[in-house]
Amino acid sequence: EVQLQASGGGLVQAGGSLRLSCAASGFTFDDYTIGWFRQAPGKEREGVSCIGPSDGTSYYADSANGRFTISSDNAKNTVYLQMNSLKPEDTAIYFCAARWGPTLLPYLEGYDYWGQGTQVTVSS
């Protein structure tokens, strides 16, 4: 059974940092692209970043570029999202998801498996 477990959310002040973790199980980690998405209240879900654990290829949405860093620990089947310089507009539920195949265009579409979210709240 495919499982994706997101954790690491919390309450942080603007300018602070958080590191989210996505622990994957039930599939061959290297064969998939892992993505991070978020959904703020009243807004549509948006893609944040993704990575291909097999080769480290990564992609960032404009909202994340320069502030967030995605990485993977293949020995632990875990993908991380380091979020720095957080802003109140980063407040959302963050989800991780997986899709089969390498990290290619369209980077943040077509994900098949989703984990539960972790809440990130950034206070001003």
Instruction: State pLDDT tens for residues 25-36.
Output: 999 999 999 999
CA 14 to chain centre: 19
Going from the C-alpha of 30 to that of each of 15, 48, 60, 78, the distances in angstroms are 33, 20, 19, 11
107, 59 Cβ separation under 8 angstroms: yes
Backbone region of residue 42 per phi and psi (left: phi > 0; alpha: psi in -120 to 50; beta: other values): left
The three-class DSSP label of residue 23 is strand
Beta carbons of 53 and 29 less than 8 angstroms apart: yes
Question: What residues in the chain have per-residue pLDDT under 50?
Answer: none
- 24/100 Cα distance (integer angstroms): 13
pLDDT given for residue 105 in this prediction? 85
Contact at 8 Å (CB) between 37 and 6? no
Give the pLDDT of residue 103: 86
Q: What is the pLDDT of residue 57?
A: 94
Q: How far apart are CA 67 and CA 65, in angstroms?
A: 6
